[in-house]
Amino acid sequence: MIAHYLKPALSKIIGLCIVCAVTAGSTAFARIRLPNIFGNNMVLQQKSDVSFWGLANPTEKIFITASWNNKTDSIVTDGNAQWKIKLQTPAAGGPYTITLKGDNTITLSNIMIGEVWVCSGQSNMEWSSYQKLPQILEEMPHSTNNNLRLFQVPRSTSQYPQDNIEGSWKISGPEALEGFSAVGYFFAKELQKKLDVPVGIINASWGGTPAETWAPAEVVTTNDVLMKSAALQNQTPWWPVKPGYAYNSMIAPLTSFSIAGVIWYQGEGNTVMPFTYNQLFSSMISAWRSAWQKELPFYYVQIAPFAYGNYNVGNLIREQQTKTLNRPNTGMVVITDLVNDVKNIHPTNKTDVAKRLSAYALAETYQKDVGIYKSPMFNRMEINGSKASLYFDNAPNGFMLKTGKAATDFFIAGADKVFVPATIKIEKDKLLVSSPEVKNPVAVRFSFSNEAMSNIFSKEGLPVAPFRTDDWEVDTGKVK
């Protein structure tokens, strides 16, 4: 399809070409054309008014028949050669066909009705069989599933929002899974199994990308704080950093396509200025929801422990990600326990990341009973003499140590702001934190460093989310 947003001069040239082609009687511009997101093997969101759109000759009347109800709807193409119509989808099922008739006929076949999700972010979402991930390589021979469909959005950028993308829907199998997001696939596989409906997963991710490029440009360019942060991103030969460039080409073309929700794994690319990440990420979520005209569920992964070159930048991003939970209909999975090497920014365990994301979706979006699926989150602190009592959400049965005899990565400080290792006593509904070096505690920090991987978990086996009770300045200088 022709982009809606083009540079003025280029728009005039293309427009002139269209006029010339039509007046010359060209049949190429008189035919029904569909964006690539519509095709054989696709999944459409169930029980929804899904948008269906494309191009054709102005004033051309198009008849659309869906086999799930054999009802024929029609729409007349406007003067911009565009048409758009809503189709009511039934409950999950299939396969179905959709036939479009105008000056030409298009039949889309093997269409399933079910649940559709988008997965996006940077390399930890993007990583696949191309990176020789053991879990996905083991999965590939067993990945054939007619009720699971994959759409890969290729890496691309644009200065202006586009209305089409390259790619096609594929039935899950070894060939389709090659190069596809491991997290996205395992997430979709779990949903398909637990919901017993067809599931479509659209992968739009790109390693290294900061969040600025995934947000519409105006989110950043109309905000002085975010503009200053974006200016700190260094241009690279491997990924875009300009505001809106990935969004325009890889997300904007999808925003009229009905989906159930989004999963997101990104943040490492924003450690250059971690303090603004919550504002940026929250604004991006709002912009995506506005574009889809739906309060999309947005479930994301808190970035993993890693030995960054600057102090505290990783834990500050994690703190900012926790703050984003204030946005409605969001959820965050904690993965401090799913790392086998803090010198590798790409943890290889993608299966458990996907399972934690899918548990969130099953519980929150589909109201399934999956047990405790949220990590314990700090709620409040009470000071009693020389001890600090910490209370948490999402730990109804208390805490346990997975290894060792004492909880690790807790630090306590008095008014002097000097943090020292703390001793922890586990009680059913709280943790008691103290140190003989701090007679009058003021603040507690837990797992508040780039590399921290604590051994304390909920009784259900989920790691406690990193936190701090203070808002004091922290060092983000180069690691010495």
Q: Is residue 318 exposed (0-12), middle (13-18) or buried (19+ Cβ within 10 Å)?
A: buried
Q: Is residue 478 part of a domain?
A: no
CA dist., res. 158 & res. 162, Å (int): 7
Residue 272's alpha-carbon distances to 200, 234, 381, in angstroms, are 34, 9, 31
CA angle (190, 195, 200) in 5-degree steps: 65
CATH number where 83 lies: 2.60.40.10
Q: What is the mean pLDDT of residues 430-435?
A: 98
User: Are both 339 and 297 inside the same structural domain?
Assistant: yes
User: Are both 59 and 42 inside the same structural domain?
Assistant: yes
Report which secondary-structure segment, H or E, holds 175: helix 174-177
User: Are both 59 and 143 inside the same structural domain?
Assistant: no
User: Are both 295 and 207 inside the same structural domain?
Assistant: yes
Q: What is the pTM of this model?
A: 0.93
User: Are both 287 and 156 inside the same structural domain?
Assistant: yes
User: Are both 154 and 51 inside the same structural domain?
Assistant: no
pLDDT-derived band at 428 (thresholds 50, 70, 90) equals confident
User: Are both 106 and 171 inside the same structural domain?
Assistant: no
- Is 36 in a helix, a strand, or coil? coil
Closest of 286, 301, 253, 257 to residue 126, by C-alpha? 301
- Whole-number pLDDT of residue 19: 35
Sheet-wide strand order for 467-468: 420-421, 410-413, 443-446, 467-468
pLDDT at 15 over 80: no
Q: Is residue 475 part of a domain?
A: no
User: Are both 22 and 39 inside the same structural domain?
Assistant: no
Name the domain count of the chain: 4
pLDDT at 273 over 80: yes
CATH number where 307 lies: 3.40.50.1110
Q: Is residue 80 part of a domain?
A: yes
| Under 8 Å between Cβ of 240 and 220 | no
Q: Is residue 87 part of a domain?
A: yes
pLDDT digits (tens, 9 = 90+) for 314-326: 999 999 999 999 9
Q: Which residues pair with 381 in a beta bridge?
A: 390
Burial 111-150 (b: 16+ CB within 10 A, else e): bbbbbbbbbbbbbbbbbbbeeebebbeebbeebebebbbb
Q: What are phi and psi of 53, to 5 degrees?
A: -150, 170
Q: Is residue 480 part of a domain?
A: no
Q: Is residue 193 part of a domain?
A: yes
User: Are both 107 and 152 inside the same structural domain?
Assistant: no
User: Are both 101 and 169 inside the same structural domain?
Assistant: no
Domain residues for the domain of 314 are: 113-365
pLDDT at 52 over 80: yes
Closest of 406, 411, 399 to residue 463, by C-alpha? 399
- Is 462 in a helix, a strand, or coil? coil
Q: What is the mean pLDDT of residues 5-29?
A: 37
pLDDT at 109 over 80: yes
Which of 70, 85, 112 is at the close of a domain?
112
Which of 97, 112, 127 is at the close of a domain?
112
pLDDT digits (tens, 9 = 90+) for 220-233: 999 999 999 999 99
Q: Is residue 372 part of a domain?
A: no
Closest of 388, 386, 366 to residue 444, by C-alpha? 388
User: Are both 101 and 179 inside the same structural domain?
Assistant: no
pLDDT-derived band at 30 (thresholds 50, 70, 90) equals low
Q: Is residue 371 part of a domain?
A: no
Q: What is the CA radius of gyration of the chain?
A: 25
CA 194, distance to chain mean position in Å, is 20
User: Are both 91 and 78 inside the same structural domain?
Assistant: yes
pLDDT at 150 over 60: yes
Which of 88, 112, 136 is at the close of a domain?
112
